Amino acid sequence: MVNPASVRLQKNAKRIMQLWEERARDEVGASIHQDSLVLQDSLPLYIDQLVNELSTKIERTPARISADKVKSDRIGKQHGRERAGYADYSMTQLIFEYHILRQVIFRVLEEEVPLDRRERDIIINSIEQAVNDAATQFSETLQDIQELFMVTLTHDLRNPINVVKMGTQLVLRRFERGDTHFDVTARMLSAIDRLDSMIQNLLDASRLRAGQRLKMTFEDCDLEQLVQEVVEDLNFAYQDRFVMVCEGAIVTHCSRKEIRRVIENIATNAVKYGAPNTPITLTLQQNATAISLTIHNEGMPIAPEAQSILFQQFRRTTDSEEQTGWGLGLFLAKSLTEAHQGTIEVESAEGKGTSFIIKLPSMPIEAI
């Protein structure tokens, strides 16, 4: 015996899509810019699938149920992928489209006779599964689009920045230290370097979000010398605010370039959020098991509840929302430190300032 609801659904499929489109155009803002074919895309395929699910003529063997599930997943994912390609669509609008479809299906199918409990459950469960599949695919596709945009943007920005940087370096050579023009040009060069660093941070964060590893070259590195170089560069940019304390030469196996980025990201954060015109101290130490670099600044402490989001990308504490930058510095510092099998800890208290403690293993580690 053929299920009457399945027959009614198949008979009224075109009408259901027409009613759905009318409501979608009235209630879903993004649909206004789409023509009928684009707007409906995979939904007619979904109705065909629902006809099969309601039908009792088709034997519902485990193999058939599994095949229908695979097809349903594919249709839902197709819908989510297509919607993510339109700039106007949001996740909320995508889900609302399915809510409208469910209401229209019930309205049309129950015009002649009410659906029984089994039929209603099949329709509701099918719609919910389709929503989950479409929303998941929408999110994944949107993330892929965003990652591609970031990679393209950062790549395209590099060329003009490199041209400006080379030109500024040439201009700087024409002046001597102490000359007002030298100081101004040096600050311009420092600003270009910070911009270049921000672009690299954005690119690397994009790669990490995509599950990729950053390429690093590991080598024996004199950390005392590296920290001293960073302090000298920072003092040039920030008027001698940085102080280095070290017990002696400390050598480890690391990516020199990336450890320098970790130090610079945390140190510049200390300038942004610490008390102005106070010293920032970098203390390098080593014991039998670990190397530690403590970067300390004076100023208001970081609230305990804010410490939990410090290392999340694109997140800022309430007190720091007006600061410039992407909000990626600490996220990348943590990721790069962990790539060296290290950790970063935070200690912050009233009257004691804030310390970021970078800990690296004393024993050499294998390049990754």
Q: Are residues 238 and 117 in the same domain?
A: no
Q: Are residues 11 and 130 in the same domain?
A: yes
Of 120, 141, 162, which residue is a domain's last? 141
| DSSP code string of 189-228 | HHHHHHHHHHHHHHHHHHHHHTTPPPP---EEEEHHHHHH
pLDDT for position 324? 47
Q: Are residues 164 and 239 in the same domain?
A: no
Q: Any idea which of 55-69, 182-196, 329-343 has the lowest mean pLDDT?
A: 55-69
Of 102, 125, 141, which residue is a domain's last? 141
Residues 75-109 have pLDDT tens digits of 778 878 778 777 677 888 888 988 999 999 999 99
Residue 182 included in any domain: yes
Q: Are residues 95 and 198 in the same domain?
A: no
Residues 38-71 have pLDDT tens digits of 556 677 888 888 888 888 654 545 554 554 554 4
Asked if residues 52 and 71 have their Cβ atoms less than 8 Å apart, the reply is no
Residue 368 included in any domain: no
Q: Are residues 58 and 153 in the same domain?
A: no
Residues 104-142 have pLDDT tens digits of 999 999 998 899 999 999 999 988 988 888 888 888 887
Residue 367 included in any domain: no
Q: What is the pTM of this model?
A: 0.53
H-only helix segments in the chain: 4-11, 13-27, 36-40, 43-54, 62-84, 91-109, 117-172, 180-209, 223-238, 256-273, 304-307, 329-339
| Phi, psi torsion values for 254, nearest 5 degrees | -160, 175
Q: Are residues 66 and 95 in the same domain?
A: yes
Residues 294-312 have pLDDT tens digits of 999 999 998 888 877 787 7
Asked if residues 274 and 294 have their Cβ atoms less than 8 Å apart, the reply is no
- Cα separation of 40 and 333, whole Å? 46
CATH number, position 180: 1.10.287
Q: Are residues 159 and 136 in the same domain?
A: no
pLDDT exceeds cutoff 70 at 352: yes
- Cα separation of 366 and 195, whole Å? 32
Range of the domain at 86: 4-141
User: How many domains is the chain built from?
Assistant: 3
Find the length of the chain.
368
CATH number, position 277: 3.30.565.10
Q: Are residues 30 and 122 in the same domain?
A: yes
* Residue 304 C-alpha from the chain's centroid: 24
Residue 366 included in any domain: no
Residues 203-230 have pLDDT tens digits of 777 667 666 677 788 999 999 999 999 9
Residue 307 included in any domain: yes
Residue 187 included in any domain: yes
Residues 6+ apart with CB under 8 A from 326: 198, 201, 202, 205, 314
Residue 137 included in any domain: yes
Q: Are residues 124 and 252 in the same domain?
A: no
Identify the band that residue 368 occupies on the pLDDT scale cut at 50, 70 and 90.
Answer: very low
Asked if residues 341 and 291 have their Cβ atoms less than 8 Å apart, the reply is no
Residue found under tokens 């996220």: 331
Q: Are residues 278 and 321 in the same domain?
A: yes
Q: How large is the angle between the packed helices 91-109 and 43-54, nearest 10 degrees?
A: 50
Of 168, 186, 209, which residue is a domain's last? 209
pLDDT for position 210? 63
Higher pLDDT, 288 or 222: 222
For the chain, percent of residues with pLDDT exceeding 90: 29
Q: Any idea which of 14-18, 79-83, 104-108, 282-286 has the lowest mean pLDDT?
A: 79-83
Q: Are residues 10 and 98 in the same domain?
A: yes
pLDDT for position 321? 45
Q: Are residues 61 and 192 in the same domain?
A: no
Residue found under tokens 């994009």: 206
